[in-house]
Amino acid sequence: MKEKMTILVTGGAGFIGSHVTEMLLRMGCEVVVIDNFSTGSKENLKRLEGYEGLWVVPSSVYSLPESYPEGVVYPDAIIHLGQPSSSPLYWQYPEYFHKTIEEMQIILELAYKWCCPVIYASSSSVYASNDIPWREDMAIQPWDRYSEVKYICERMGFLWAKRQKIKFIALRLFSVYGEGEEFKGRYANLFTQLIWSAITGKTLKIYGDGDQSRDLVYVKDVTHAFFDALILAFEKEPGFHDVYNVGSGYHLDIRQMIDIIRDIGRVEPKVEYLLYYPKYYIMHTLADTIKTKSELGWRACTSPKEVVRYLIKYYEARKDKLDKWNPNPPTYFKK
C-alpha cells in the first residue's frame, strides 16, 4: 500500500460518507469528495475544514471524470457511498432506482480506467427474506426496490471484477447510528430518533409494538471497516471480489433501546406504537460477523451503552437542527 493515498469518496457529505472522509484524512490520505448534496449536507463538511488534502466537488457522479479536480492525481481507490440509504426513499422517488444503477456503471468504468479498487457501501437489507443471523453466503432474494438495487450493484461489481479484473468489495452495512444524522430527519437511525424524542419532547411514532430489533453499529467503527477493506483490496490480486457484513453481531429491540437512553442517558423518549407493520418492513436484523472478523480483520468495538451520553450531549447542542424533524414515519408504505 502506498504511503500517501488519494481516495475518491462519493457521497462524502452524507452521514457515513463524511465520517469516512474524516477518518481517511486522519490517516494521512488525500480525499476527493464528490457530492451533489441531494441527501448529504454541507454542514457535515464544516468539521473537515481544517484538514489539508481535501477537495470537494459539488456535483454528481454523472459529472465524472470531467469534474475531477485538475492537478490532483487520479485516485488509488474509490469508496462509493453516493446512494440514498433508506428503503422508503426508493418508494417515494422511483427514479432513484435507475439513477443508482447508472451511477454504479460510471464508477465501475472509472475504476477500470484508473486501475483502482472499489469499496461499495451495500446494505444488510438484501438479506431481508432470510432468518437471522444473516451470513454472507445466504441466498439473496430482494423484496423491495432498495434491497433489489443494492444487490444489483453488488452483482455489477462482481461481474466487472470477473471480466475486467478490477477489485471490488461490498460492505453490507447494518443499522448505522451516531453523530451527524440531524439532516436525515425521519430517515435517521431509530436509536438516534429515540434520542431526538427524549431531547425535543416530540412523540416518535413507531410501527408495531416495539418487538422489532436492529443490529446497531456505531458510525466511527464503520469507518474503520472501510479502511480495512481498502487494505485488503490492495493486498489482493486483480479480479478479487467479495462481500462482508458490517454489524455488531448482537441486536436490541425498541424497548431495550429506550431502556438504555433512559437508564444511562437519564432522559426519556416519548413513543407511540402504531400496532401494525407496513409491507416490506424488516422485523429483525442481526449480522453473522465470523467472516468479517477472520478475513477483513474488523469488528465493532463500541456499544450503544458506551456512547449514548455523548450522543445526547451532541444532539442537545444542536437542538435547533431538530426543529423541523418530523417524528412520524413515512406514510407512503402500504399496510
Q: What is the mean pLDDT of the chain?
A: 95
How far from 325 is each of 120, 143, 184, 185, CA to CA, in Å?
Answer: 29, 29, 9, 5
pLDDT over 60 (residue 332)? no
pLDDT band of 1, cuts 50, 70, 90 = low
Burial class (CB in 10 A: 0-12, 13-18, 19+), 256: middle
Q: pLDDT tens digit string along 99-148?
A: 999 999 999 999 999 999 999 999 999 999 899 999 999 999 888 899 99
H helices of 48-168, in order, are 87-92, 95-114, 145-164
How far from 22 is each of 4, 33, 49, 101, 134, CA to CA, in Å?
Answer: 15, 11, 10, 27, 30
Q: What's the average model confidence in pLDDT over 290-304?
A: 98
In the β-sheet with 30-34, what is the strand arrangement from edge to edge? 54-57, 30-34, 6-10, 77-80, 118-123, 168-173, 241-246
List all residues 6 or more positions away from 131 whose beta carbon is below 8 Å from its beta carbon.
Answer: none
Question: Which triple of cell numbers denotes residue 147?
Answer: 434491497
Of the two residues 139 and 279, the one the predictor is more confident about is 139
Q: Which domains does the chain have, with CATH numbers?
A: 6-174+217-246 (3.40.50.720), 176-215+249-287+302-322 (3.90.25.10)
Going 86 to 93 to 81 to 169, the CA torsion angle's sign is positive
Q: What φ, ψ does residue 263 adopt, rounded to 5°?
A: -75, -35
Query: Among 24-33, 139-148, 242-251, which stretch is predicted with the lowest mean pLDDT?
Result: 139-148
Q: pLDDT tens digit string along 31-88?
A: 999 999 988 899 999 989 889 999 999 999 999 999 999 999 999 999 999 998 888 8
Question: Which triple of cell numbers denotes residue 20?
Answer: 469516512
The whole-angstrom separation of Cα 156 and Cα 150 is 10
Q: pLDDT tens digit string along 186-232?
A: 999 999 999 999 999 999 999 999 999 999 999 999 999 999 999 99
Name the percent of the chain lying above pLDDT 70. Answer: 98
Q: What is the pLDDT of residue 89?
A: 84
Of the two residues 96 and 246, the one the predictor is more confident about is 246
The whole-angstrom separation of Cα 315 and Cα 196 is 7
Count of residues making up the chain: 335
pLDDT over 80 (residue 246)? yes
Region of residue 174 (phi > 0: left; psi between -120 and 50: alpha; otherwise: beta): beta
pTM of the model as a whole:
0.96
Q: What's the average model confidence in pLDDT over 161-168?
A: 98
Q: Please, are residues 216 and 279 in contact by the beta-carbon 8 Å criterion? A: no
